[in-house]
Amino acid sequence: MAPVKAIVQNVKCVPTIGPVRGDFSVKPRSLGPRGLSFQYRGYAISVEGDVQVRLHDTSDRPLCDLEFMQFVTPKFFDQTFHRDGEGWMTRSWKPGITGVVHLDGHLDLTTGAQKNAPFMSLRKGVTTRGGHFENDMQDSPEGLAPEYHVSSSGEKLWFWRLSRFDEFMTFLVFIHPTKERQPIAMVRWSFSMEYVVRWEGGEPRPLTAKLEPKPEGAIVKDDATLSSYLGIINTPPAWIMAVANDPANFEKSPVDGMRHVALPPNFFVP
């Protein structure tokens, strides 16, 4: 007999939000500017999921899975650079990136692809007694920026500040024997960050860091709301990492109005 959909019941979804602490590192590159990485100690969010499932036939169990899928809507992202003299420039994501829902997921540093795509969890769901499936996921958003940007005239503009704000939807998803993905719980949360650096002896030094993960409302479990997301669950949009670091997806603008901003006297020390 062909596999049929399972009956999912006793859904448990337990999120834990922050706190996180800022970390900072410089990633060397063989060509061009080095990459500045703004990371976190600990997780911005950690979620545990557990469901009990009734199957038509126990032989269908290996066909099932419990995973997490996460979607991110970038609302604001700016990299601000300062010329060694006077004037400012920002690099921001274009409107096609901000305000648009993207699939989120962990980056495999070896292959450059998404780990366990299209899922946010890094392993297949574990089956336990009584028809239970369990899984978990963690996320710590990372900010990236080049140490400098070269203007059209060949002048180096040095990194000063990274600001971003993102909204997330994290779904607990059951995969039926038919391979249909069913969202069974959703956690909404947001994350804001701002990093400012100074330069000393040609090296960036972190000056300030503001990080804030925040839950947005109660866990959603009602079928009517979750069913409205079946489209993106079963046919996900583009993976955010595939577009976030593409230079073609950035737009540049001078910020003359920021010349009045008081910089620390040691912002840049050659």
pLDDT tens profile 197-214: 888 877 888 777 787 888
pLDDT at 260: 47
pLDDT digits (tens, 9 = 90+) for 259-270: 545 555 566 655
Confidence (pLDDT) at 85: 55
Work out the percent of the chain whose per-residue pLDDT is above 70.
89
Mean pLDDT of 73-96: 82
Instruction: Provide the domain limits for residue 65.
Output: 7-23+41-139+149-265
Q: Is residue 28 domain-resident?
A: no
Report d(CA 79, CA 194) in Å as an integer.
10
Strand partners, 143: 38
Asked whether residue 30 is domain-assigned, the answer is: no
- Does residue 107 carry a pLDDT above 60? yes
pLDDT for residue 87: 67
32 is a domain residue: no
Per the CB < 8 A criterion, the answer to whether 131 and 150 are in contact is no
Alpha-carbon dihedral angle through residues 20, 25, 30, 32, given to the nearest 10 degrees: 90
Structural domain includes residue 59? yes
Output the pTM of the full model.
0.88
Does 270 fall in a domain? Answer: no
Is residue 206 in a domain? yes
Residue 225 DSSP one-character state: H
The pairing of beta strand 156-175 with beta strand 148-150: antiparallel
Query: Would you say residue 56 lies in a domain?
Result: yes
Over residues 23-64, the pLDDT tens digits come to 778 877 666 788 888 877 778 899 999 999 988 788 888 899
31: in domain? no
> 151-155, long-range: CB within 8 Å, 24+ apart, which pairs?
151/83, 151/89, 155/83
Higher pLDDT residue, 137 or 250? Answer: 137
**Count of domains in the chain?**
1
